[in-house]
Structure 1
Amino acid sequence: MAFNQQLRAQTHLVEIAKIDKIQMIVSTQVYKNNETKFNFDEAKVTVINKQIKIDLGKRIYQRELLVK
């Protein structure tokens, strides 16, 4: 039981790290090139009104752009 909880927690941390990395890359690209749509290995990303929408697997995450 404890092993399963630890594995789930580790998987969650890996997923959050992916989201953080995508947020940094997208924020930089929007600032440099005004791009609004991106495709990464596992994710489809759209930027609307300074909000980043990340479709990753079965989940959708929302983040803010890191640069203004």
Structure 2
Amino acid sequence: MREILAYEGPCFTVEWYYDENGTSQAFDYFNRLGDAQKLPENEKQRAIFSMQSYNTRVQKGEYYEEG
């Protein structure tokens, strides 16, 4: 059975699921989506930058939550 990765990162890997017939309803649906329905190209980079910025502020003690 073939494997197609949707995401591979340091903590987990997400693969498209294929049934016993070798078909993947989710992957087929994703491929039919128009470009406007998918994430913009730079969205992943923006999310990574935001996470790194947050982690840096937490480590420096510059981030706090009011509550």
**What range describes the TM-score normalised by the shorter chain of this pair?**
0.3 to 0.5
Higher relative contact order by CA 8 Å / sep ≥ 6: 1 or 2? Answer: 1
User: Which structure has more strand as a fraction of its residues?
Assistant: 1
| TM-score of the pair, normalised by structure 2 | 0.35
| TM-score of the pair, normalised by structure 1 | 0.35
- Give the greater-gyration-radius structure (CA): 2
